[in-house]
Chain A
């Protein structure tokens, strides 16, 4: 079946540093989404990407939809302690079904 390979699996960084994580797949996706999940909460949508090459920002977050439609990355600039959490990429191959496939997640820890 379709799979998303998300890396790195975890990151431990100093406050103020920039962070980069990515997702790759052997399949083509029509949409890429990035979510953040805090402990005890459901995932919260950060950024949605709808076409190849699209670069979108949301505050300190920037994400890009790869030209090949098989990958996406998320950057976080000037990290702060509240950035701690698990970040998931998710891809959609068909808008008809609405189904999302999730990456394995990147756990981010920020040291003040």
Chain B
């Protein structure tokens, strides 16, 4: 499985500011996924990031709030914009395995908005 790292591992941010989360993979992958895990909840897919094209967002998530970059096949960023306390969550990136079906997750970024 791929080795995935995320930065920062955690942060505490003020309401109204923005935070950019980085996801780095040790191998080239076509798809990268961004998930949100609210406190005590399950994982919800935010968007799929393909290199060379615009990210595809799931219902309830919009590009203005969660802009995504995918400059190459090993890296992606997710920005949480104009944050409010409701954005306090763990944000996780994942990549498909060699079969293209299973997904492997990074360690997550724990965001607290005050």
Interface residues of A (CB under 8 A from B): 1, 31, 33, 35, 40-45, 48, 50, 88, 90, 92, 95, 97-105
Contact = CB atoms under 8 A, between A and B. Distances in A.
B31 interface: yes
Q: Is the interface of A mostly helix, strand, loop or mixed?
A: loop
Contact of A41 (B94, B99, B103, B107): B107
B interface, size bucket:
20 to 34
B45 A43 contact: no
Contacts of A31: 101-102
Interface of B: 1, 4, 31, 33, 41-45, 48, 59, 92, 94, 96-97, 99-108, 110
A48 B1 contact: no
A99 B107 CA distance: 19
B101 A42 contact: no
A46 to B, nearest CB: 10
Contacts of B92: 42-43
The residue among A31, A42, A103 with the most chain B CB atoms within 10 A of its own CB is A42
